[in-house]
Amino acid sequence: MSELEDKIAQARQEIEKASNIVVLTGAGISAESGVPTFRGQEGLWQNFRPEELATPDAFWNDPKLVWEWYDWRRNAVKDAKPNPGHYALAELESSVPHLTLVTQNIDGLHQMAGSTNITEMHGNIWQIRCTKCGEIEQNFQVPLPELPPKCKKCGELGRPNVVWFGEMIGMDLIDKILRAIEECQVMLIIGTSGIVEPAASMGLVAKQTNKTVIEINLDETPSAGLYDIVIREKSGEVLPVLFTSNPNRVLS
Ligand code: APR
């Protein structure tokens, strides 16, 4: 067996033994759906400055500019469809007793693929949150008719319901994720560069509580040396082989 087939066989075994799995995904799982990653070669941060577009200061400094950028990103994502990686995770959810899917992605593709137990750490690009009353509106209009959009409830300024650099993720959400890691046997980390906190530390938390950690990511990541199985292949090609119901399926 090649080294890769060996790793896949090991990973399959760990997953089949587990009754409780936590999955953490990042932009890499949506790359094969045509959604740009952040730090890859064509990544968003190669062409845009996060401090000008993805911080609270940037927003209050120029809400229209920030919304023009999110309107552009919504347009870039609107026709994206889930890829075999998303669908394989949805299938896994239906075949194990308990699966928690934690995503840093704001594109909504996991929901579209049929996953249900999803925790969106960084929000959702299809939601507008009122800066005054906090009302959250699900909105799929592309382009948005008015930039910046106003709250449908109180008329105040709306902002993208996403987490920006320099903003905290709610403690209740963090607690929920840490509890899920504590209760799982296997953690899968897929398509994330592993440098943005708090997501970047979750694999370490899993190792500190003796869970099996499996990473699927094209590029090297800072914590990979601590993980049990590391696969440097495209998630859309590996995940269908790892845990769909066809054991004879091989990596193309
Ligand atoms: N399959 C597997 N991995 C892939 C694929 C693929 N098809 N394509 C790219 N990757 C990997 C890259 O090697 C890279 O390490 O996905 C990773 C994506 O890393 P980032 O672009 O840094 O995205 P992510 O880790 O999700 O970013 C975290 O940073 O900018 C903020 O809020 C934003 O949620 C985002 C957070």
DSSP, collapsed to helix, strand or coil, labels residue 88 as helix
Amino acid in the structure at residue 119:
T
**Closest to 233 measured CA to CA, from 14, 31, 18:** 31
Ligand 1 site residues (CB inside 6 A) read: 26-28, 31-32, 37-40, 43, 104, 122, 191-193, 196, 216-219, 234-236
What does the block give as tokens for 161? 């319901």
What does the block give as tokens for 221? 């990541």
Catalytic residue of the set 86, 98, 110, 122: 122
Angle (nearest 5°) at CA 239 between 237 and 243: 135
Q: Is the pLDDT of residue 244 over 80?
A: no
Centre of ligand 1 from the C-alpha of residue 97, in Å:
28
Per-position b or e across 192-227, b if 16+ CB within 10 A of its CB: bbbeeeebbebbebbbeeebbbbbbbbeebebbeeb
**pLDDT tens, residue by residue, 18-48:** 999 999 999 999 999 999 888 877 777 777 7
**pLDDT tens, residue by residue, 171-205:** 999 999 999 999 999 999 999 999 999 999 999 99
Centre of ligand 1 from the C-alpha of residue 157, in Å:
31
Task: Report which protein residue has its CA nearest ligand 1's atom 30.
Answer: 38
